[in-house]
Amino acid sequence: MSGFNLIPFLDLKTPHIELRPQLQAAFERVLNSGWYIQGSELKQFEEEFANYCEAKYCIGVGNGLDALHLILRAYDIGEGDEVIVPSNTYIATWLAASYAEATPIPVEPDERTYNIDPSRIEAAITPRTKAIMVVHLYGQPADMDVISAVAKKHNLKVIEDAAQAHGARYKGKRVGTLGDAAGFSFYPGKNLGAMGDGGAVTTNDAELAEKIRTLGNYGSRIKYHNEVKGYNSRLDELQAAFLREKLKKLDAWNAQRKAIAAEYVRKLESHNLVLPVVPEWADPVWHLFVVRSQQRENLQAHLQQQGIGTMIHYPIPPHLQPAYSELGYKQGDFPIAEAIHREVLSLPMGPTMNVAQVTQVSKSTNDYLEA
């Protein structure tokens, strides 16, 4: 998609080329082991990623959507139950609730941080509400203390959708243990990405960890003994081996993203552009660098002409997707999310981007908006 751009939206190849010897060695380890599902690479990755997240447990699963879905299943959240979700998110957050046969109940975001607005959650709670699924959107942690206080008052689970936020910190603590459980995605484009699909759940809850491990492996703890109707959702040895190598680089890669974001903030001068807002308690990992412009479409076309790849995260909010027509929402029901979806543009961002590229993107953006 952005393969021919001078400055691609995201360069997935260079980080892998840089790690070629380590990734090839990882491949050789798995090849020679003769063991390809649920072996020692997975076990070690789970320990290493749990340590990284400062969590007691990590369970590798098939992808990020499964991670969120399995958490809901493990908490027996299902038909007739409601799960509070952000109106401003990728559709996977909503789909996790739907997979579990629960109903996603959208809550509008804070216009400045794009994350769920804690002050609006209480109004959406009903006797059927079982959980709040928070998203650390674009890599920036949500305001967890306020959300957890509401959850505690109403006896709700707090589930983190951490698919975009590997390594981010909230008041010094890593995402992944800020609620009852967290779902991560290792889709290739995420801050920690596999070379294929992958995901994980992190939690400090031993019982939940055991349930998720069982659910993701056909409902079985002992081979061919099936306690519950489970799923097949596992992180394979090859992806786990690759992820172990890439995890060693994650902090350095996130630091480079942070440097790139700081450079954008310095260089994007146009007053016709809204820059990301970072609350003082947030240490984001800049999965995306998202700006807002009322001339979003034209700006994107202009940048494309200059060979600069951009993306829109996301063009259509979940409540207006045909997939959710059954819920009967219409344009205007969630005006904050709708305005955000109309105006956001994600500028190039990644672990191997350099300052010269930021200068060029910023100049093209400033020139266009001030012309």
Ligand X SMILES: *Cc1c(COP(=O)(O)O)cnc(C)c1O
The dihedrals phi and psi of 239, each to the nearest 5 degrees, come to: -65, -40
State the distance between the two ends of the chain, measured CA to CA, in whole angstroms: 28
> Judged by CB under 6 A, does residue 113 bind ligand X?
no
165 binds ligand X, rule: CB under 6 A:
no
**Residues in CB range of 266: below 8 A, 6 or more apart:** none
Cα separations in angstroms, 146 against 116, 151, 214: 11, 9, 32
Q: Does residue 310 belong to the site contacting ligand X (CB under 6 A)?
A: no
Structure tokens at 258: 């942070």
In the list 88, 129, 140, 164, the residue contacting ligand X (rule: CB under 6 A) is: 164
Task: Select from 8-16, 31-39, 43-51, 87-95 the region that touches ligand X (CB under 6 A).
Answer: 87-95
Asked whether position 85 contacts ligand X by CB under 6 A, the answer is no
Shortest reach from residue 301's CB to ligand X, in Å: 25
Q: What minimum distance in Å lies between the beta carbon of 238 and ligand X? A: 16
Cis peptide before 264 (omega within 30 of 0): no
Query: Is 369 an interacting residue with respect to ligand X (CB under 6 A)?
Result: no
Which lies closer to ligand X via its Cβ, residue 46 or residue 263?
46
Q: Strands, DSSP E only, in 115-271?
A: 129-135, 157-161, 169-170, 173-174, 181-185, 199-203, 220-222, 225-226
167 forms part of the interface with ligand X (CB under 6 A): no
* 191 touches ligand X by CB under 6 A: no
Provide the pairing of β-strand 57-61 with 199-203: antiparallel
Q: Assess 168 for contact with ligand X (CB under 6 A).
A: no
- Under the criterion CB under 6 A, does residue 90 sit at the interface with ligand X? yes
Q: Is 135 in the site for ligand X (CB under 6 A)?
A: yes
Whether 310 contacts 347, CB under 8 Å:
yes
**Shortest Å, Cβ 68 to ligand X:** 7
Which parts of this chain interact with ligand X (CB under 6 A)? 63-65, 89-90, 92-93, 135, 161, 163-164, 185, 187, 197, 199
